[in-house]
Amino acid sequence: MLEVTRLSTAYGLIKALDGVSLSAQTGAVTCILGPNGAGKTTLMFSIAGILRPEAGSIQFDGIELSRLDAPGVLKHGLALVPENRLVFPLMSVRENLQAGAYLRPASTPAAVREITEDIEKMYARFPVLGERAGQNAGTLSGGEQQMLAVARALMSRPKILLMDEPSVGLSPLIVDEIFSIIAQLNREGISILLVEQNAAKALQVADHFYLLDHGRVAFSGTPGEMENDDVIQRAYLGDRAA
């Protein structure tokens, strides 16, 4: 469904992605692991149309995305939940959700009704967002901001969510909640491409793993193959094995 082929992206002379190939299947949770600076965010930004790759292709359901800008990519059903949430801090929770539907302008009464219904669905899914609807997003806790970032992305009715380290900086209980949300969204039919450092948690939800290192794919395999890989075992699953 999502097929990335020999993708290279650079910041000036710094080559952050160097011929990355990977695929994410429809209905699956595909997880990308990798140390700091490996190029994970660069990969997500390249897929989401925020960064322009210098070579390679990104195909989604047969459509070439690598030359599209961010709204163009979103239109095809790929929505990014960025690292560190990046909610709009001075806008209310409700306004953040409205912003997530920016490709569906509220220009007719029917469109307004649809967006309002979708916002109500987000409040039903994440009750805390309903309770804080009028509150500035910047005043939410880290976990609440993560839920808002997910809900904002869902407002575009995506086929695939690109989630960049959703558990970073959150307490273990909230991390559990985030992972159960990921599993639930996946059960509802949304495909997920997940960047995650917490390999033990990712093992609970992911169908396939890639390890990115120095801008290249260093490993690709199933959860079972990943658990049996010595390097990954030591670097990512050490705590769990202990």
Tokens representing residue 153 in the block: 């992305």
Burial pattern 15-53, b for ≥16 Cβ within 10 A else e, equals bbbbebebbbeeebbbbbbbeeebbbbbbbbbbbbebeb
- Stretch of residues binding ligand ATP (CB under 6 A), selected from 8-16, 97-105, 111-119, 230-238: 8-16
Q: Cα–Cα distance between 184 and 119 in angstroms, integer? A: 18
Task: Rule CB under 6 A: say whether 13 interacts with ligand ATP.
Answer: no
Q: How far is the CB of 52 from ligand ATP (least distance, A)?
A: 13
Task: Rule CB under 6 A: say whether 30 interacts with ligand ATP.
Answer: no
Assign 155 to helix, strand or coil. Answer: coil
Q: How far is the CB of 54 from ligand ATP (least distance, A)?
A: 13
Task: Rule CB under 6 A: say whether 66 interacts with ligand ATP.
Answer: no
Q: How far is the CB of 51 from ligand ATP (least distance, A)?
A: 9
Q: How far is the CB of 218 from ligand ATP (least distance, A)?
A: 12
- Nearer to ligand ATP (CB atom), residue 78 or residue 115: 78
Task: Rule CB under 6 A: say whether 39 interacts with ligand ATP.
Answer: yes
**Residue owning tokens 């290192």:** 213
Contacting residue, 20, 22, 38, 161, with ligand ATP by CB under 6 A:
38
What separation, in Å, do the N-terminal and C-terminal C-alpha atoms of the chain show? Answer: 37
Q: Cα–Cα distance between 228 and 211 in angstroms, integer? A: 14
